[in-house]
């Protein structure tokens, strides 16, 4: 019984080390996106951006929809860090958020999003326009 217990402990330790090693291989990069959003109850957004990862730049396409209370239009410029990625394609995916906000003229914007692959976006920037929203929104990012 003691021998089997020691083997189990050793296997758990090896599995934990392998998990830590694979997480250690995750990398980070810089991201910039420009999103135009507009709506009247149902909103839509679209835009473009750039991922800088390991010294190379990758163009991005941005798209999305919002459902809830959305009135107006805005342009948002965001920049920040993307982490927990191993390759540029890990940034591609669907990011979801629930939120409320308003912008009249120029306003600050901070957002943290995660996709299904585990990529984490930590973005900040400014929003210009006249928009009020209380909605569920999804943002889809793809490599061009």
Residue range 41-94, pLDDT digits in tens: 777 889 999 999 999 999 999 988 776 677 788 888 999 999 999 999 999 999
* Number of C-beta neighbours around residue 136 at 10 A: 12
Q: What is the pTM of this model?
A: 0.72
**pLDDT at residue 131 is higher than 80:** no
The residue extents of the domains of the chain are 26-143
Q: Provide DSSP, 17-67.
A: HHHHHHHHT-EEEEEEEEEEEEEEEEEEEEEEEEEEETTEEEEEEEEEEEE
Whether CATH 2.40.128 fits 26-143: yes
Q: Across-strand partners of 140?
A: 63, 94
């Amino acid at each position: 019984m003691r021998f089997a217990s020691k083997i189990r402990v050793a296997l758990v330790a090896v599995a934990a080390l392998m998990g830590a090693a694979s997480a250690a291989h995750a990398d980070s990069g810089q991201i910039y996106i420009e999103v135009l959003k507009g709506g009247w109850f149902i909103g839509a957004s679209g835009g473009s951006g750039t991922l800088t990862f390991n010294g190379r730049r990758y163009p991005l396409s941005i798209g999305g929809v919002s459902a809830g209370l959305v009135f107006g239009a805005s342009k948002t410029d965001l920049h920040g860090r993307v982490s927990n990625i191993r390759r540029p394609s890990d940034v591609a995916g669907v990011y979801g958020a629930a939120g409320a906000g308003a912008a009249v003229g120029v306003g600050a914007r901070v957002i943290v999003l995660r996709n299904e692959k585990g990529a984490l976006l930590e973005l900040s920037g400014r929003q210009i326009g006249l928009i009020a929203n209380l909605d569920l929104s999804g943002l889809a990012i793809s490599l061009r």
